[in-house]
Structures are given as C-alpha cells and as structure tokens.
C-alpha cells in the first residue's frame, strides 16, 4: 500500500481530473498518477455535485480546504477544522460522522456495537493505515466491550447522544451525520425524533 502522503497526492490529482471532466468538453490530462485521453462526460448534470474530502489528519484537512467543496471527519477535532479554514475551507460545509448504537438496554447496545462495528474503537492512526480487511479483523480482536462503551454512545440515554453531537458542534462542525450501528434503525429513528432532536 502506498504511504499516506502518496495516497493524498493521488486524491489531489484525482479531484483535478474530475473537475477537468466536468467542464463538459473533451479532456486530456497527464499527471503523475493518472492519464486521461479525449474523455468527455456526456451526461453532465446542470450543477456538478460537490466533492467533499474526508480528513482525519491536518494534511488531509488542508487538501479538503484547498481542493474540496467541503470536509468530512470522524472526530470532533478543532485543529482539523482550523487547518481546513486556513487552506481555503472557510465557509464550506463541515460534516462530522458520529457512530452511535441505540437500544432499549445499554448493555445490549454495547454488545451490538462490539459485534457489528468494533473498528470504531481501534485506537490511533491504525484505523487509517491497514491495507487489507483481514488486518482490520485482526485489530478489531483487540477491542473490548469496555473500549466500545468509551468510544461509542450506546443505549437509551439521550444525554449521552446529545453530548457527543454537541462535541462536534462545539468544535465547529455545521452538520453531524449520526450512524446507527445495528439493525434496529426504526427504534433509533423514533428515539432520535422523540428524545434527541427536540433538544438540539
């Protein structure tokens, strides 16, 4: 697997290629990573879709600010947003992704999150640097239910969910995408509609 810095350079160049293709004309491009010859997108929408760049580190946040139309991140990290702003991201959308597991019982929610989404508690940069799915499976074996309970708001307490959302808002995110771990999506939606959203 290429190092993170190379993957970031590849993403930067890919965004440039996409934007060239969206000019609605024949495109030729020869970069360090990609070559495009006489390509044209014939089914362009009236308005090209925005390109949001995911960032967990400051160099990716800089790319998001400079080349993207918005930022996506999975932690309420103010430093990421400041780097995003300094690179040209000020005024652009900032999406934070929050993993939660609602259930009627907190212990059941922790168990579900541990079984379905243990990657949410893999520590440090490990979760961004593993090249193969089996490596994620191996790292997830080191995650305990206690780790999940620390990393993921679990259970029916609306304050726990609200506190996690407020961390993103306080950091400067203007959108928070809440990802319910597990199968009980309807229960999650009812809970958020009744007990969480009215308090935001």
Q: Over the range 20-45, which residues count as b (16 or more CB within 10 Å of their CB) and which as e? A: ebbeeeebeeeeeeeeeeeeeeeeee
pLDDT band at 180 (very low <50, low <70, confident <90, very high): very high
Q: What does the alpha-carbon distance between residue 14 and residue 22 come to, in Å, rounded to a whole number?
A: 12
Per-residue pLDDT reduced to its tens digit, 16-71: 999 999 998 999 999 999 999 999 998 888 999 999 999 999 999 999 999 999 99
The number of angstroms, rounded, from the C-alpha of 108 to the middle of its chain's C-alpha atoms is: 25
Give the lowest-confidence range in 98-107, 124-133, 148-157, 182-191: 124-133
Helical H runs in 85-192?
106-116, 126-129, 133-140, 145-151, 158-171, 185-191
Mean pLDDT, range 149-157, rounded to an integer: 97
DSSP string, 138-156: HHHTT--HHHHHHHS-BSS
Whole-angstrom CA distances from 50 to 22, 39, 64, 70, 166 are 11, 20, 12, 8, 26
- Averaged over 189-193, what is the pLDDT? 98
Nearest to 11 by CA among 49, 51, 56: 51
């Amino acid at each position: 697997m290429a190092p993170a810095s190379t993957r970031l350079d590849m993403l930067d160049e890919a965004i440039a290629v996409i934007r060239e293709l969206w000019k609605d004309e024949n495109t030729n491009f020869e970069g360090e990573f990609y070559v495009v010859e006489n390509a044209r997108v014939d089914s362009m929408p009236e308005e090209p879709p925005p390109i949001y760049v995911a960032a967990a580190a400051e160099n990716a946040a800089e790319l998001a600010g400079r080349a993207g139309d918005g930022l996506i991140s999975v932690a309420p990290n103010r430093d990421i947003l400041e780097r995003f702003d300094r690179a040209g991201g000020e005024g652009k959308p900032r999406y934070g992704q929050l993993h939660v597991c609602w259930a009627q019982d907190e212990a059941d929610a922790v168990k579900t999150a541990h079984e379905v989404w243990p990657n949410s508690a893999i520590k440090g940069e490990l979760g961004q640097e593993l090249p193969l799915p089996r490596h994620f499976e191996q790292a997830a074996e080191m995650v305990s239910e206690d780790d999940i309970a620390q990393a993921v708001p679990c259970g029916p307490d609306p304050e726990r969910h609200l506190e996690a959302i407020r961390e993103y808002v306080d950091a400067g995110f203007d959108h928070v995408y809440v990802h319910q771990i597990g199968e009980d999506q309807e229960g999650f939606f009812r809970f958020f509609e009744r007990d969480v959203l009215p308090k935001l």
